[in-house]
Amino acid sequence: MTQSQNPDQIWAKCHSLAGRIYRAAGENPGELSDRSRRRTTWDLNTADTDALVITLIALALHSAALDAAHQHADTAMASVDGIPLTTVAEHLRARPRHEFFAGAPPLNSQSPAAKTVAALRLLAYTVARPAPLTLEHLAVDAWTCVLAAAACSPQREPTAGSV
């Protein structure tokens, strides 16, 4: 993330990279069958599940990029591309879900991810079951995809941009 990038550009980059990470994970036939089994077990077999998982990965990547930019305020971070996949996975595993939305840029209704961000936000702030459980299942699915993409990478420490 550089100083010259605006929030919309950063978000677009995060969402694009999240799609690449998700597709890279899907290149592993074992991951595809595991993903299908998980989703069947969790009753997540909707047409929107892929988009929700990709957007959740994008939110975690965006969160990691904001953290990195904040930690290196004196020197702008080179790029979202340089965020390690292990950091994205850690955000998906440990970061409270509502924190993803605190740093997310406002998305106009024309944004491809606007509806999925709104759906994830609704799941995060709904107290009644099964919404919180559904969000956790989506987060586990996203976390598993990030780890699978990292495992497929020939690099020793793969980054978001190296997938």
pLDDT tens per residue across span 38-47:
999 999 988 8
Tokens 């956790």, located at residue: 136
In this structure, are residues 79 and 161 in contact, taking their beta carbons and an 8 Å threshold? yes
Structure tokens at 139: 């987060």
In this predicted model, what pLDDT tens digit does every residue of 138-155 receive, in sequence order?
999 999 999 999 999 889
Q: What is the pLDDT of residue 4?
A: 55
In this structure, are residues 53 and 145 in contact, taking their beta carbons and an 8 Å threshold? yes
- Residues 104-131 have a mean pLDDT of 86
In this predicted model, what pLDDT tens digit does every residue of 71-95 receive, in sequence order?
875 444 447 999 999 999 999 999 9
pLDDT higher at 109 or 83: 83
CA distances from 9 to 14, 15, 43, 105 (A): 9, 10, 34, 10
pTM above 0.85, yes or no: yes
Q: Does pLDDT of 3 surpass 90?
A: no
